[in-house]
Each structure stands twice: as C-alpha cells, then as structure tokens.
Amino acid sequence: MILLSIEKTFASILAAVLFATGLNAANQIVIKSVALESYMTARTMDEKMEFQTYQFMEGNYHPGNRADPGMEKMTFRDIILDIAVNLQKQNFYPIPEKGKSDLLIVVHWGVTSIQESSDDMLGYTSLEDKMGAALSTAQNAGADGIITSSEMNSISDVAFVANNDISMDEANTRSAYYQARLIGMERAYSERIGPSEEFQLKYLLKDERYFVVLMAYDFQKLQKGERELLWTTRYSIRSTGQSFENAIKDMNLLAGNYFGQNRDGLIMKRITDKTRVKLGKIEVIGTEDTE
C-alpha cells in the first residue's frame, strides 16, 4: 500500500511538472538568429560597419487557415514601424534615400497553419469506424476456401484506406515540417534531438504561432546582381489567447536583442519589458517572395 501510494505520488508530481513545463513553454517567444561569420567578423573589425543603414521590403504574408481580425487590421507599415524601433538596439537605422542603404531587410510575417486530422473532423477513432462492415467481411474472406467478388472488393477497400492513411500521415508530416522550418524550429524533426527537447518543441508546434522572419541582404551587392543573405532572424509566439498587435510588439521587443547576430540553437524567453517607443517615417520598397 505504501509503495502504491509513492508510485501514485511520483506519477502526480511528474504529470504536474510536465504540465507546468508545457504551460510555461507555450507562452515563450522562440527565436532563431543566424548570420554569416564573415559578416559578423567584418562588423567587429570595421568601425564603419558598427552602424548600418537599411530599407524594408515587403515579403510574404501567411494568413493561416482561420480568420484573425487582428492580423487583417494591422498593416505592413504598422509592423515595420515597431520592428524599426528594435533594430536600433543593434545599431541598424533606416535611411530614406532609395538604393543608398547598406541592407535590404525583407519582412515575412503571419501565423502558422495547424492541419486538423481528417479522422478527428469525421469523428473516427479506429479503422473499424472508417470501414464498418467492409473490414469484417475482409477479415473473414476465404474462411470457406472461396473468396467472393464482394470479399475481394472489401479487401481492396481496406487496402485503399490503409494506403490513404499512410499518404495523409506523410502529407501532414511534410506540412508540419514546413511550418517548423518556416519559424526556425525544424530541429524538432531532427534525428539528433533528444526525447526531452523533442517533446518541448513539438509541444510548442502543436498550436498555431504568430511569426516574423527578417532576411537582411547586402543591398549594394544586390543592385549589382549579387544576392548575398547576411543574416536571418525568425521568431514566433503562440497565437491562442492574445491579440496579434500585442504579440508582435512583444516578439519584436525581445527578438530585437538578437537582430543581425549569429546564435547557436534556439533562444526561448518570455517577455518581461513592456516599454514602448515610437519612431518616425520608414521607407518601404517593393515586394519579394519567401525564401
């Protein structure tokens, strides 16, 4: 009895810890910031590169698979005004003259799309639910030494559903990987990841997430036909339970500490500083597709 009580207590504690960990992680802002080593070295060694100028370019907008009035309300200009405030933390400043800046920063933003299982939508809990009598007929096929045409059809039906399930699973996995890669969390599907980290990342990915992707190109080289991506920062937060406007301001505020930097792995933090600053006019040029 004592042993049983200890086991129950341990199980309760473990469940509570996992729940608390997941609850805490769900509200975290996840950031992935990478930059060319040569670029980082140049900014460190060359005083002229300590302060860099930039212009924004509108990238792709990902609206997700559900209506979100808050996202539709905020314009691209609203978003970049707040990003610009936080770019100053790393000595990046906007310049109004077109084509004169050091960087062209392409901004992609939106919300991830979580694919709902077709079985869940239709209320299926097992293969029997999906196949009904066909499965029973197929299981009994040939019991008397003779397979009828009806039994053959049932076997074909079961094989079709099974293969279709595999195809759907593969499609959902590909979609989930794409979503994870978009926001910099593809490590969740790496073979080198440990079970604890995999659980944490996939727990975060199970919910839709607001995200922003900044891709900074060498603007002067770009105008000469050379495409050099100097740094990329991807950051996201769970969309459930908060407005897009507040979420993106929190994300920009925290991610601003890492713009233009090269950091190993993922950075996971919760917002603490609610300070807000306003900035003047920002120059926006053109549009570009997501990389």
Domain ranges of the chain: 21-112+183-287, 118-172
pLDDT at 20 over 50: no
The pLDDT score that the predictor gives to residue 178 is 83
Band the pLDDT of 144: cuts 50, 70, 90.
low
Angle at which helix 76-87 crosses helix 244-255, to 10 degrees, equals 20
Quick: pLDDT tens for 242-286. 899 999 999 999 999 999 999 999 999 987 644 444 444 545 555
Neighbours of 129 (CB within 10 A): 12
Tokens at 87, concatenated: 């770019």
285: Cα separation from own chain's centroid? 26
The pLDDT score that the predictor gives to residue 185 is 87
Handedness of CA 278, 283, 287, 291 (dihedral sign): negative
- Token pair 């939508």 is found at 121
Residue 183's nearest CA partner among 86, 110, 245 is: 110
The pLDDT score that the predictor gives to residue 166 is 41
Does the 21-112+183-287 domain belong in CATH 3.30.160? yes
CA separation for the pair 101, 218 (Å, rounded): 9
- Mean pLDDT taken over the chain: 75
Quick: pLDDT tens for 223-232. 999 999 999 9
Tokens at 149, concatenated: 């045409």
The pLDDT score that the predictor gives to residue 258 is 96
pLDDT at 17 over 80: no
Backbone angles phi, psi at 230, to 5 degrees: -85, -45
Which carries the bigger pLDDT value, residue 254 or residue 126?
254
Asked if 89 and 259 count as a contact pair (C-beta separation under 8 A), the reply is yes
Quick: pLDDT tens for 61-105. 998 887 888 888 999 999 999 999 999 999 999 998 888 899 999
Element (H, E) at 47: none
Tokens at 120, concatenated: 């869940």
